[in-house]
Amino acid sequence: MIARIFGRWVMLVLLLTPVLAQAEKLETLPVTRIAPNTYAVYGHIAQLNTQNRGFNGNAGFVVTTDGVVVIDALGTPLLGKRLLASIRKITNKPIRYLILTHNHPDHSYGTSALKDSGATVIAHAGTQDYLHSSDFESSVDYRREIIPQDMREFRAIAPDQAIDGDIFSKQVFRLGKHSFEVYNVDHHHSYGDLVIRQLPENILWIGDLAFNGRTTYIGDGHSGATLKGIDWLRSAFPDAKLMMPGHGKAQRPPFPMLQQTYRYVERLRTKMGQALEAGESLESAVDECDFPDWHKVPLYAENHRRNCSFVYREMEQEVFFAPETP
Ligand SMILES: [Zn+2]
């Protein structure tokens, strides 16, 4: 009898050991309280590498009386788990919603951990197109090559609730004393971008509509839509108290990151528009597209030439498809 009980006990310990070991190894992430019940998780200002292991975008969460709303999921399944462990250090309330500002890897590839914990995933309808695109396949392959261990449990997750409708229209999700207005901001930076207004605090989660403390990245989306999106943000929410971007720290009014991002993108469009008018080739237009006052801004060296090239090709299309003036 004693031997049998002892045997079962040994068996239980053996069964639990891997689970405990995994939980112990899961390192939490630094969490910053940015407003009552509202927390930011700030990623590194850098490109993906083996040091930051894909922790190069922000996420955040709001603890309401009825559960937790998470905004963005970070860049790998492992980071999604670490985000969940970090939330668990603050509250044991259920995770009710995960809202993805957009489908880029650094913001959405940790989704599985939140989904498996019971969250309803809210994302732009364009996410479904993204998950069937070659862009998606190549980005997953790239991450698997650089950080295979962290990407091991990766799987594509379609939104449970897809946001579409007219540009700048909203859907509202209420939870406890909070409401979350989720706005469709078109595809200015990805296959589909959202902005979230958290009430009653009046905090805007703007995703990658503006960047704080680094050079923007324009790899898909549309530069013209970025300018329209920033204009809309400024006029629609004049009383916003705080803005949380997808990269860099949260900002208070007058939100200088909006002006900085706007000016940079507008300047790219002016420069590339002039190059096209002068009949310059893509190569020479990109060579001459230098912004010396931006040299010291992080990620200029990595992103700027690519941004120039993207905007040149984009504007070439605009000229090509522009309606003829009578
Ligand atoms: Zn981003």
Q: Is residue 244 part of a domain?
A: yes
For residue 234, give the CATH number of its domain: 3.60.15.10
Ligand 1 centroid distance, CA of 257 (Å) = 15
Task: Answer yes or no: is pLDDT of 5 > 60.
Answer: no
Range of 292's domain?
28-321
Residues near ligand 1 ion, CB 5 Å cutoff: 57, 104, 106, 208, 246
Task: Answer yes or no: is pLDDT of 171 > 80.
Answer: yes
Ligand 1 centroid distance, CA of 320 (Å) = 30
Ligand 1 centroid distance, CA of 25 (Å) = 27
Spatial contact of 34 and 40, defined as CB atoms under 8 Å apart: yes
Task: Answer yes or no: is pLDDT of 23 > 90.
Answer: no
Q: Is residue 33 part of a domain?
A: yes
Compute the distance between CA of residue 194 and CA of residue 186 in angstroms, rounded to an integer. Answer: 8
User: Residue with structure tokens 């998780």?
Assistant: 41
Q: pLDDT digits over 250-284, tens only?
A: 999 999 999 999 999 999 999 999 999 999 999 99
Ligand 1 centroid distance, CA of 70 (Å) = 16
Helix extents (H) in 247-325: 256-277, 282-287, 300-321
Position 144 scores a pLDDT of 98
Ligand 1 centroid distance, CA of 146 (Å) = 18
How many structural domains comprise the chain?
A: 1
Q: Is residue 17 part of a domain?
A: no
Task: State the pLDDT confidence band at 17, using cuts at 50, 70 and 90.
Answer: very low
Tell me the pLDDT of the chain averaged across its residues.
93
